[in-house]
Amino acid sequence: MLLVIDIGNTNTSLGVFDGEALAAHWRLTTVRARTVDEWGVLARNLFALAELDFKVIDAIAVASVVPPLNFTLKRMADEGLITLPSRKGPLPRFEPIRIKGKPLSQTIIEDRDDRF
């Protein structure tokens, strides 16, 4: 399963994909001062509520415009709360994730609109 995290200045969106299917998604307020432990508690509780196990995550994609939280994610990885992929050299350029032919962001928005 793929864990995607999009950290924006106002909101942080998390999603879990099982292949092309969006298994769960959440939106949190971006709080720059939130500690590693607070992030860990939030993430584990969200996974538990969705009846997902952290251990099934085998890849993670992170997009962030909030540099202080990049350090927090790194600390979460160091403490075993999440697993970040290793990186050597410049980041490779990837095509946007597409689900059923649509960009990931569009899929999440449409799914959320269907629920409310």
Q: What is the mean pLDDT of residues 105-112?
A: 58
Q: What is the mean pLDDT of residues 48-68?
A: 84
Q: What is the mean pLDDT of residues 67-90?
A: 66
Range of the structural domain that residue 90 is part of = 2-115
Residue pair 30/7 in contact (Cβ under 8 Å)? The answer is yes
Token pair for residue 20? 């092309």
Q: Which among 86, 71, 65 is positioned nearest to 39, based on CA atoms?
A: 71
Per mean pLDDT, which of 14-23, 67-76, 82-91 is the most reliable? 14-23
pLDDT value of residue 28: 92
pLDDT value of residue 63: 83
- Give percent of the chain above pLDDT 70: 66
User: At residue 107, does pLDDT exceed 70?
Assistant: no
- In angstroms and rounded to an integer, the radius of gyration of the C-alpha atoms of the chain is 14
- More confidently predicted of 100 and 50: 50
Rounded alpha-carbon distances, angstroms, from residue 69 to 11, 22, 108, 109: 12, 24, 22, 24
What CATH number is attached to the domain comprising 39? 3.30.420.40
User: At residue 20, does pLDDT exceed 50?
Assistant: yes
User: At residue 66, does pLDDT exceed 90?
Assistant: no
Q: What is the mean pLDDT of residues 26-55?
A: 88
CB atoms within 10 A of CB 22: 18
pLDDT value of residue 27: 93
Which are the contacts of 34, defined by CB distance < 8 A and separation ≥ 6?
Answer: 42, 72
Q: Where are the alpha helices (DSSP H) in 16-115?
A: 36-49, 67-78, 104-115
How many distinct structural domains can be found in the chain?
A: 1
pLDDT value of residue 92: 47
